[in-house]
Each structure stands twice: as structure tokens, then as C-alpha cells.
């Protein structure tokens, strides 16, 4: 299938990153959100991130200008119906994703491909609520999108081969690598990563180590670039908890029980970097462990 225009639902951290790489690869992008402030902030962030690439001589100033010219925004979700491929990158709540696809349904072209950037929710279940489940699949980018080289491609039970091949071709055009995953809870990366973060939360909860010792142990002892609790703050503790709940509910195995301390932080609204507090307090010049 020939893809020229791409609609992105959600102008948050993932959505603006997806719009960034798609526009830089030559696709016309229509970015949607329910908030004009969010759209304006996303365009500003894309401009800043592209400028950083120019300063590092990763791209030319001309390439940046062309990419910015390819990005348009809209508050009206039905406007995305005219695009060749839609990537939903809204919050990780299944009912919201269903509402988005239900709203888009009557406005889609006959060949439009629908995809979700979900990090854990069943692609088959999301696809089942659409008119054409064969043209639906998981298109999971890693954060931060412009830097991370991997994209998980997840086929639902009904996804057809042309849809998969089209998305695979897009990944290759972006200069990224695709990992094909089966449609099981959390797919590959988060099936392994988020339980590790959850175990780090238990290690903290049980007093085996404090925040600094746990993160330093994994950075220096396992050569991880970022400690698991620091990484949890970067991802968002609400997202980590949501994925653990998907794993626990979907696989019915007690080893995926979310740590009570993780739940408590989320209940407190301490969600990590985006709220300035999580396992670290980011309100000062230097992050300070909260435990």
C-alpha cells in the first residue's frame, strides 16, 4: 500500500516524537489532540528537537525546515480520516482508545490502515471494534522516539499480510529496526522491562536497598544506562502500573502482581518526571531520591 499521509492521535511525549520522525522521513503528518495548548507545545518541542539534530550535524537546516512544513495540527479527530495511515498514541487506557477508533470509524477511507502505539493492550481486542480488523495492527515506538531504533510490530489475529508489510516498509524508511511480536500482554520489550521495574519497586518496598543504591547497583553492576527506578520516573509510574495490571489481568500469574509501593506513588500523583516527583524529586536543580 502506498502511504503518503499519516495521522497521529495524541500530541504528548510519544505522539510528538512519532510526528517528528514521520515528517523527517518525508511523510505529511496531521497531528491531533483535544487541547490546542498540547498541539502548540508539541510543535514547539518538535522544532527544538529538530534544531538539536541540526546543531549536532545529524540533519541539515533545510531538512528541518522541510520536516516542519510537513506537520499540520487539528483539534478535530475526524479530520484524520483522510490520511493513509493513523497511529493512535493516546493515553494507555483501553476505553479511551476504543472511543477514538469509534469516532474515526465513519470518516475513514476504504484503504486506511489503523494502528495503535499501545505498549501492552491486546491488538486483537482493539481491532475487533473496528470495521476492518484486517487493516489494524500494533505500531509500538520506543521512547524517546527520535533516538530509539526499535519499533515493535504486533499483528492481531485478523491482521493481513499487506498491512504488516506496509508498516514494515515504513519502519525501514524511518531507518529503524522492526521486531515482530505476537499479540500477548505487553508484547516483548515491556513483558521483560516492566516486571524488572516492578521488582525494583519490591526491592525498595521491602527495604533491601534505597532508591540510590538500587539504581547504582543496576547501572554499575549490570551496565544499565539508567537505573530501574530512574527509568520508571522517565516512563511514568502510572504507565508502569497500567502495564503491570495488563500483565496481571491478562496472564493471571501472581508474579505480575503490581508492587503496593508503586500503586501508592500513583495514588499520590507522584508519577515521575512529568509531575516533578516520583522515586526522585525533580523540583530542584538536581534530582533527589524520595526514599
Residues with catalytic roles: 119, 140, 152, 190
62 is in an annotated binding site: no
15 is in an annotated binding site: yes
160 is in an annotated binding site: no
92 is in an annotated binding site: yes
216 is in an annotated binding site: no
Kindly give, in sequence order, each residue whose CB lies less than 8 Å from that of residue 234, ignoring residues fewer than 6 positions away.
Answer: 143, 226, 272, 273
Kindly give, in sequence order, each residue whose CB lies less than 8 Å from that of residue 212, ignoring residues fewer than 6 positions away.
Answer: 289
4 is in an annotated binding site: no
242 is in an annotated binding site: no
Kindly give, in sequence order, each residue whose CB lies less than 8 Å from that of residue 125, ignoring residues fewer than 6 positions away.
Answer: 94
**DSSP-derived secondary structure letter, 277:** B
264 is in an annotated binding site: no
φ, ψ dihedrals at 213, nearest 5°: -70, -35
Assigned C-alpha cell, 71? 506537520
89 is in an annotated binding site: no
58 is in an annotated binding site: no
84 is in an annotated binding site: no
149 is in an annotated binding site: no
The DSSP result for 138-170, as a single string, is EEEE-SSTTT--EEEEEE-TT--HHHHHHHHHH
- What distance in Å separates the CA atoms of residue 208 and residue 200, rounded to the nearest whole number? 10
The maximal CA–CA distance of the chain, rounded, in angstroms, is: 56
The pairing of beta strand 280-281 with beta strand 288-289: antiparallel
Residues contributing to the annotated binding site: 10-15, 33, 92, 97, 119, 143, 274
Residues contributing to the annotated binding site for NAD(+): 10-15, 33, 92, 97, 119, 143, 274
Amino acid at each position: 500500500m502506498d502511504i503518503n499521509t499519516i495521522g497521529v492521535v495524541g500530541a504528548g511525549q510519544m505522539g510528538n516524537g512519532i510526528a517528528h520522525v514521520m515528517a523527517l522521513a518525508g511523510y505529511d503528518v496531521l497531528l491531533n489532540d483535544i487541547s490546542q495548548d498540547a498541539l502548540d507545545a508539541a510543535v514547539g518541542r518538535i522544532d527544538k528537537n529538530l534544531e538539536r539534530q541540526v546543531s549536532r550535524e545529524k540533519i541539515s537546516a533545510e531538512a528541518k525546515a522541510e520536516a516542519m512544513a510537513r506537520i499540520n495540527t487539528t483539534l478535530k479527530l475526524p479530520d484524520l480520516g483522510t490520511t493513509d495511515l493513523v497511529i493512535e498514541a493516546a493515553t494507555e487506557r483501553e476505553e479511551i482508545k476504543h472511543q477514538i477508533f469509534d469516532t474515526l470509524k465513519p470518516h475513514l477511507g476504504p484503504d486506511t490502515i489503523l494502528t495503535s502505539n499501545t505498549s501492552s493492550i491486546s491488538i486483537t481486542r482493539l481491532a475487533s471494534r473496528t470495521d476492518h480488523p484486517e487493516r489494524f495492527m500494533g505500531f509500538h515506538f520506543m521512547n524517546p522516539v527520535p533516538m530509539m531504533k526499535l519499533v515493535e510490530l504486533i499483528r492481531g489475529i485478523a491482521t493481513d499480510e499487506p498491512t504488516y508489510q506496509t508498516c514494515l516498509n515504513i519502519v525501514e524508511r524511518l531507518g529503524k529496526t522492526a521486531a515482530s511480536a505476537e499479540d500477548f500482554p505487553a508484547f516483548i520489550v515491556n513483558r521483560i522491562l516492566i516486571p524488572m521495574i516492578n521488582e525494583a519497586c519490591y526491592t525498595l518496598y521491602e527495604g533491601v536497598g534505597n532508591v540510590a543504591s538500587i539504581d547504582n547497583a543496576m547501572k554499575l553492576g549490570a551496565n544499565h544506562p539508567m537505573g530501574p527506578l530512574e527509568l520508571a520516573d522517565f516512563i511514568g509510574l502510572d504507565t508502569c502500573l497500567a502495564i503491570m495490571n495488563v500483565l496481571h489481568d491478562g496472564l493471571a500469574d501472581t508474579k505480575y502482581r503490581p508492587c503496593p509501593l508503586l500503586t501508592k506513588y500513583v495514588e499520590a500523583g507522584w508519577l515521575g518526571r512529568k509531575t516533578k516527583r516520583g522515586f526522585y524529586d525533580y523540583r530542584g536543580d538536581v534530582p533527589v531520591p524520595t526514599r
